[in-house]
Amino acid sequence: MSVIAVVGAQWGDEGKGRVVDYLATDADLVIRYGGGNNAGHTVVNPHGHFKLHLIPSGIFYPATRNLLGGGVVINPPALVRELDGLAAAGFDCANFFISERAHLVMPYHVMLDQLEERERRTAKLGTTSRGIGPAYVDKVARRGIRVVDLMEPDDFRAQLHVALARIRRVVTGYFGAGGDDDELRPAIEEATDEDRIATEYLTAADRLRPHVVDGQALVDAALVDGQRILLEGQLGTMRDIDWGTYPYVTSSSPIPGGASIGAGLPAVAIDKVIGVAKAYTTAVGAGPLPTEMLDAEGEALRERGIEYGTSTGRPRRCGWYDAVAVRFSVRLAGYSSIALTKLDVLDGSERIRICVAYRDPQTGAQWTTVPASTSVYQRLEPVYQELPGWQTDTTGCREFTQLPAAAQAYVERLEALAEVPIGLVSVGPERDQMIVRGPG
Ligand code: IMP
């Protein structure tokens, strides 16, 4: 039996979907354990180029079952659109399942996400505006609506009625002095239109019904059977609700503890945790990012790496590899190994920098871990070690020894700093552009 969790070691968008797509060849079951359609995974395989938001990356292997665990929040119409897109590409998704315990993202969550961001004015979090935070708020406040409720139209209508009565009261609070939110009124009316939501969601329910299962029973049977299970993370440690750059975080736990809860399996069942780290750093959304390059070099990295959000299309903030953040992630998540992605994007760089510590310009103090205080973290400056670049195309390399010596030295340095073996190195988006270094 083997249960492997694939977890983001940075700020998200590390290439987890690509790594899961690669590992799913050997998996019987792939489970998404948290987040919602804020996530975006780009998967390039022999069937084409796909952008997945909710559906796990194992969907392309017909013999692999794919589950949205109870820890995921699901926007039913968005999920139906994703299923329709895959159906158009020839995938019937008979191998796709949804845990009945997962919570729903409702239109008013999307609206609240936007209203809350507006209210933050200059201190916006830069959320994906997909309603993820407010959906988790309702879950924790014990008033969320779940997939199991959606399957029972009368239950769903009753819960929707109660929820909307409350939401209308909340929304009234946003119309204060000056009435400057008036332009939002039509959108708010739509997001609180009970009949419209009931019709839209119950139509989606009929489409999703064949996929809805008792997720825990499915996972338990797979464990008893000794099946190979992959737990697919979304986002990364630095956006974890407890351990990330709070409040610039998502509302769930991308780290392996979240995988146990969200997938519905015992924590001790996880045999291996693979941390996915990009060979440099990217982030979308606000918050501290010490290695961010706001210059032509950062711009060039963005263009070479095609660093634009899969879900929102937003340009990603780009910077050098932050070994302090990854080491923090290693300590929290306990990676067995790291999969390093997009090494080829650095092919053109004359010299490459690694952030090995932070320096506080106010006190002169050096930091070798991530501070809890966001205002302290905002002002820390990176301390760089510089390595020579290789300026050679690595996209055709399939063995570690085929990489230029400088590229090998870079990977080895990252490995030493992370104190965890780097088992996989990707040098391009295609399935076979992967260097396997060790047992992984
Ligand atoms: P939320 O998850 O939409 O509430 O956004 C919270 C933070 O996580 C924001 O900084 C987002 O930009 C970031 N975020 C959410 N989903 C993704 C993703 O798939 N990739 C990268 N960042 C994300």
Q: Which of 208, 230, 253 is the last residue of a domain?
A: 208
Q: Around Cβ 425, how many Cβ atoms within 10 Å?
A: 26
pLDDT for the residue 178: 47
pTM of the complete model: 0.94
Cα separation, 220 vs 222, whole angstroms: 5
User: Do 76 and 120 fall into the same domain?
Assistant: no
Domain contains 188 = yes
Of the candidates 377, 413, 407, 412, the residue with the CA atom closest to the CA atom of residue 395: 407
Establish whether residue 307 lines the binding site of ligand 1, counting it when its CB lies within 6 angstroms of any ligand atom: no
Establish whether residue 248 lines the binding site of ligand 1, counting it when its CB lies within 6 angstroms of any ligand atom: yes
Establish whether residue 285 lines the binding site of ligand 1, counting it when its CB lies within 6 angstroms of any ligand atom: yes
User: Do 152 and 254 fall into the same domain?
Assistant: no
Q: What's the number of domains the chain is made of?
A: 3
pLDDT digits (tens, 9 = 90+) for 13-67: 999 988 988 898 889 999 999 999 998 777 778 888 888 899 998 899 999 999 9
User: Do 291 and 366 fall into the same domain?
Assistant: yes
CB 309 within 8 A of CB 13: yes
User: Do 319 and 406 fall into the same domain?
Assistant: yes
Cα→Cα distances 246→2, 130, 203, 239, 372, Å: 33, 19, 37, 8, 8
pLDDT for the residue 439: 58
**Is 41 assigned a catalytic role?**
yes
Cα separation, 44 vs 34, whole angstroms: 23
User: Do 175 and 304 fall into the same domain?
Assistant: no
Report the nearest atom of ligand 1 relative to the CA of 113.
4
User: Do 241 and 272 fall into the same domain?
Assistant: yes
Q: Which residues, in sequence order, are bridge partners of residue 228?
A: 2
Cα separation, 323 vs 199, whole angstroms: 50
- What is the best residue among 16, 20, 128 to mutate for testing ligand 1's pocket, by most ligand atoms within 8 Å of CB? 128
User: Do 431 and 295 fall into the same domain?
Assistant: yes
DSSP string, 252-284: S--SHHHHHHHHTS-GGG--EEEEEEESSEEE-
Domain contains 75 = yes
Cα separation, 106 vs 400, whole angstroms: 47
Domain contains 333 = no
User: Do 31 and 84 fall into the same domain?
Assistant: yes
- What is the best residue among 132, 250, 252, 292 to mutate for testing ligand 1's pocket, by most ligand atoms within 8 Å of CB? 250
Domain contains 34 = yes
Domain contains 330 = no
Which token pair is 317? 């903030």
**Is 13 assigned a catalytic role?**
yes
- The alpha carbon of 252 and the centre of ligand 1 are apart by a number of angstroms equal to 11
Q: What is the sign of the dihedral through the CA atoms of 371, 376, 377 and 383? A: negative
User: Do 263 and 306 fall into the same domain?
Assistant: no
pLDDT digits (tens, 9 = 90+) for 182-210: 677 888 889 999 999 999 999 999 999 99
Report the nearest atom of ligand 1 relative to the CA of 314.
12
Question: What range does the domain containing 182 cover?
Answer: 104-208
User: Do 234 and 158 fall into the same domain?
Assistant: no
**Amino acid, single-letter form, for residue 164:** L
DSSP string, 374-391: HHHHHH-EEEEEEEE---
What is the CATH number for 94?
3.40.440.10
Inter-helix orientation angle 194-208/76-88, to 10°? 40
Domain contains 338 = no
- The alpha carbon of 261 and the centre of ligand 1 are apart by a number of angstroms equal to 20
pLDDT for the residue 147: 98
What is the CATH number for 128?
1.10.300.10
User: Do 153 and 187 fall into the same domain?
Assistant: yes
Cα→Cα distances 221→28, 218, 225, 256, Å: 12, 5, 6, 21
Establish whether residue 254 lines the binding site of ligand 1, counting it when its CB lies within 6 angstroms of any ligand atom: no
Domain contains 78 = yes
Q: Indicate the SS3 state at residue 294.
A: coil
Report the nearest atom of ligand 1 relative to the CA of 38.
16
- The alpha carbon of 233 and the centre of ligand 1 are apart by a number of angstroms equal to 13
Report the nearest atom of ligand 1 relative to the CA of 132.
4
What is the CATH number for 353?
3.90.170.10
Domain contains 241 = yes
By the 10 Å C-beta count (0-12 exposed, 13-18 middle, 19+ buried), 403 is classed as buried
Establish whether residue 273 lines the binding site of ligand 1, counting it when its CB lies within 6 angstroms of any ligand atom: no
pLDDT for the residue 182: 67
Residue owning the nearest CA to atom 1 of ligand 1: 127
- Block means of pLDDT (10 residues each) for the chain, 440 residues, are 92 91 91 92 80 90 95 98 92 96 98 92 91 98 98 98 95 64 79 97 98 98 97 96 97 97 97 98 96 96 93 91 98 97 96 98 97 97 98 97 98 98 96 84
pLDDT for the residue 270: 97
User: Do 290 and 424 fall into the same domain?
Assistant: yes
